[in-house]
Amino acid sequence: MNKYIKITVLVLLSLILSWRLFRPGYPSMQDDIQVFRLQQYDQCLKDGQIPCRYIADGGLGYGYPLFNFYSPLPYAIAQAVHLTGFSYINSIKIAFIIPSFLRVFGMYLLSSAFFGASGGIISAVLYALAPYQAVNSYVRGAIGETWALSLIPLVFWSLYQKRNRLSVLFLSLLMLSHNLTLLYAIPLLFIFSVITQRFKYFIRTFLWSLFICASFLLPAFFEKNLTTVSTMTQGYFNYIIHFVTLKELFVSNIWGYSASMWGPIDGLSFNIGIFQWLIPTILFVSLFFTKKIKHSFLIIPFYLIGVFALFLSHNKSTFLWQILPLMAYFQFPWRFLGLTIFCFSFLSGGFILLFKKDIKLSILFSLILLVSFINYPYFREDLWYSSLTDSQKLNSAETIRQSGAGLMDYWPKYGQNYPTSFAPSTPTVLSGEIDFIKYYKNSHYSEAYLSVSSENAIVNLPIVYFPNWDLSIDGQPAEYKIDPELGLIQLEFTQGEHHYQLKFADTSIRKIANTLSLLTLIGFIILTIREKHL
């Protein structure tokens, strides 16, 4: 196949998936806080907090350590775009557009390495146009999972091709894109590396990437118990109410923009896609009735893994979820659709091997047209706000609304309750008489000049405590208390004029993780430069 035709097909496919995001305005989505998070990430970096961990206005204005736990890659990409002059809204849209191209070209590169150019295009079409991809991008607005699913093929391809530097880069990006996708991607990558005799490359790639990403991964793991992370598996987020039925997976063509609900009637689609499951199944069955097909050693395990992932989304797998407590953090069993569509789409490239050479091209373009005709209509938003601007999306009311979304996920566990209203703009005086002459707060620092006319005064700062904050009063190290109600930082002053400074500081694990990442990254860059000059 002419390389220009291949590139044209892949580019057109990528544009089909994302062209609606090129329009002025902004789409509706369930996770409608992406613009707010980007603005907070932007402020974090401008404040000099690198890496960004604690955001200023999250948690209903009390701040909280969102990016200590929430994968930062999509926002780092969007921030890089924003720094070139794009608005927050357009930067987020671009951060959704880029994965459309990555997953198309990534799956093509991976599949074509085994099944040729025609097989690569079949895999790319099935993967990119899977309904679950549209659910993530246009319904849920799950930017982290969207990025993770776009990077997985590139990780597998670079590992198989022994592109050492690229494999480290892509796996590092995956580690920073979505924690839950990473949990099933690593075991699959391990299996793939054993089957393709790339195990030593996998171990080397994994260790390099792990150390490079340590500044995020280590605190996210070791400090999660300092938050109310357990709420992420309770109530609506309990996996037991989100299993899907066989009808939803294979038959139902219902499409909606609301939520996953209890029982078989849901407000969004969990359909795999008719061709996304039919083609790999035909190929798998054909292995038992035809002569040996090239790369069947990969087709069989990947098909079985894809089926197992579907099993995990069905209530018959409840016993496994109960045996493995960590599974509860997936919240929605249908998240494993991502694993299924990756495995099924990849091995589907081998479908073209079932046909004689003279009809392969006809089969290829017939599939492209059929899959596009059936699945393209899913890749559209529910509502489009054509004139929405940053100032409107980040006005006072919208900031309050978005700042409270997901509050309980990573709220520090040092208080008894959660805030129910937006934080005051100045500290709250609990006792005594105090006048704040000047008060300042950003994402990781607060200071004030104040005058206390009573013998003593106690104030609560509009800052929730999370280890560690360093306090100095009048230039001297000082102690503070933690208010038991919301877990706010509480200060006590004596009579007179005072100046306090409060700085968010790294814990021991964060210092170790930051140092490990920095040294590994420097070593990786030096090694890459040296190899280029050899």
User: Does residue 468 have a cis bond before it (omega within 30 degrees)?
Assistant: yes
| pLDDT averaged per 10 residues in sequence order, the chain, 534 residues | 83 94 95 94 96 94 94 97 97 97 97 94 97 96 96 98 94 96 96 95 96 97 90 86 93 88 82 96 91 84 97 95 91 96 97 88 91 94 94 93 85 92 94 94 96 94 95 95 95 95 96 97 90 65
Pairwise CA distance, residues 331 & 51, whole Å:
28
Beta strands in 290-391 (DSSP E): 384-385
Q: Which of 327, 343, 184, 333 is nearest to 279 (CA)?
A: 343
Name the pairing type of β-strands 476-478 and 481-482: unpaired
Backbone phi, then psi, for 464, in 5-degree steps? -80, 140
pTM of the model as a whole: 0.94
Residue 356: exposure state from Cβ atoms within 10 A (0-12, 13-18, ≥19): exposed
For residue 439, list its beta bridge partners. Answer: 448
Query: How far is C-alpha 532 from the chain's CA centre?
Result: 33
Identity at 479, one-letter amino acid code: E
Tokens of 57: 């206005």
pLDDT at 1: 59
Closest CA relative to residue 69, chosen from 59, 77, 61 = 59
- Look at residue 295 in the predicted model and tell me its pLDDT: 84
Scored b (16 or more CB within 10 A) or e, 89-112 reads: bbbbbbbbbbbbbbbbbbbbbbbb
* Residue type, position 488, single letter: L
Read off the amino acid at residue 90.
N
Number of CB atoms found within 10 A of residue 41's CB: 25
The answer to whether the CB of 42 falls within 8 A of the CB of 145 is: no
Of the candidates 259, 275, 278, 279, which has an alpha carbon nearest to the alpha carbon of residue 267? 259
Lookup: tokens for 66: 């969102």
Nearest in space to 42 (alpha carbons), one of 74, 83, 70: 83
Q: What's the pLDDT at 529?
A: 86
What pLDDT does 259 receive?
84
Q: What is the pLDDT of residue 250?
A: 94
**What pLDDT, on a 0 to 100 scale, did the predictor assign at position 533?**
60
Coil, helix or strand at residue 488: strand
Determine the straight-line distance between the first and last CA of the chain, rounded to whole angstroms: 36
SS3 state of residue 455: strand
The predicted structure's pLDDT at residue 490:
96
Residues in the chain: 534
Q: Are 485 and 417 in contact (CB under 8 A)?
A: yes
pLDDT at 265: 76
d(CA 68, CA 443): 13
Q: What is the per-residue pLDDT for 531?
A: 76
The C-alpha atoms of residue 148 and residue 381 are separated, in whole angstroms, by 21
Distances (CA, A) of 467 to 65, 199, 228, 408: 10, 39, 14, 17
Backbone angles phi, psi at 506, to 5 degrees: -80, 145
Looking at residue 406, what is its pLDDT? 79
CB contact at 8 A, 464 and 63: yes
Structural domains in the chain?
69-382 (no CATH), 428-506 (2.60.40)
Question: Exposed (0-12), middle (13-18) or buried (19+): which is 308, by Cβ within 10 Å?
Answer: middle
DSSP 3-state of 412: strand
* Token duo for residue 487: 């877990």
pLDDT at 451: 95
